[in-house]
Amino acid sequence: MNARTVSPPSRTAPGSEPMLSPTPVGPALVDLLPARWHRPLVILAAVMGGLVILNIAGLFLDPREVTNAPVWMKPLKFALSIGIYSLTLAWLIGRLPTGSRIARVANVAGTITVFGLAIELVIIDGFALFGDTSHFTVSTPFHAAMWSVMAVSITVVWVMSLLVAALLFRAPLGDPARSLGIRAGTIIALGGMAVAFLMTGPQGDQISNYQGIIGAHTVGLADGGPGLPLVGWSTVAGDLRVPHFVGMHALQALPLFVFLLEVLARKIPALRDARRRLRLMLVAVVTFAAAVALLTVQALMGQSVVAPSGIILFGGLILTTSAAIAAILIFLLPVGSTRSAPAKTVG
């Protein structure tokens, strides 16, 4: 029998992270899949997939518009967003130790999240069905009541997401780079979700010239002006949907980035060192968080995302340059000695 070299099993304590190792860890598909999925969230994601198809059909079959946009565009965007979020949250909860107390708490949080998101979608699609806007309208008692229900439901979803994020800090998620990517992704996503609360305050002259609308996506102008295709982000004013969108999708972007590093480690020797992957992940986290903060300031200044200028443009250039330099230095500078268990030969 040919001799082969294997490493001894890891001896990390429960809840602790594995030691840094120079061994490439390019993930197999089975490694990325959780031991189980949170079923209610997966079902919700499947329902959102069906709604996406129906909403796309509505775009072609229903010519009505609300705030200068096709009436089914908002339901479509929310169905897509909630579907992606539900599937990601189901994946995150599934990575918690099966049968543990933190997994049971996360399961309850996930189920509550399903109800909160479902309430949101029912109201949004219901208003669209009648050709009305679901957001920021308090012109009648019914509109005000529905807006309040949506506010409560999305706040509950945010709190449940915060709870899951906290639980992820108490579970082993892989090597340090992977753990950082997953945990930081949840924290930045919570910040991106929280940007939505900035949209609910009075904008411009909504108090002095009350028209039954309190709050807006845009800053400096009323909603419904010129916008980018599909997403509708304002091209002439600040738009809080930009940092809201970018921040929320840290939940997918940062874990995908660390998994990409692990896959590339099979081909790029420099990435086989866990310390280097961790440092690259740290640069990505800081850059992503700073970008969300910068986009939020830009929106609050009333500046369109497609026309950055002044301190925003300067800040963006500094952020991009700093991230690039940091990444280059991480590849060029030695990472120091790594601790890994000695291999042993077995027959």
Per-residue pLDDT reduced to its tens digit, 304-338: 999 999 999 999 999 999 999 999 999 888 876 44
Q: Which residue has the tokens 């790594």?
A: 338
**pTM for the predicted model, two decimal places:** 0.84
**Residue 3, SS3?**
coil
Q: What mean pLDDT comes out for the span 21-39?
A: 62
Examine the pLDDT at 1 and tell me if it is beyond 60.
Answer: no
Judge whether 187 and 247 are in contact, CB under 8 Å: no
pLDDT of amino acid 266: 87
Angle, in degrees to the nearest 10, between helices 141-168 and 73-94: 30
Angle, in degrees to the nearest 10, between helices 241-248 and 250-264: 40
Examine the pLDDT at 345 and tell me if it is beyond 60.
Answer: no
Q: Which residues contact 161 (CB under 8 A, 6 or more apart)?
A: 89, 109, 113, 186, 189, 190, 193
**DSSP letter assigned to residue 137:** B
Question: To the nearest whole number, what is the mean pLDDT of the chain?
Answer: 84
Distances, alpha carbon 289 to alpha carbons 92, 101, 118, 168, 262, in Å: 20, 31, 29, 19, 22
Question: Which uninterrupted H or E stretch holds 69?
Answer: strand 69-70
**Angle at the Cα of 106 (from 156 to 260), degrees rounded to 5?**
100
Task: Give the integer Cα–Cα distance in Å for 155 and 50.
Answer: 25
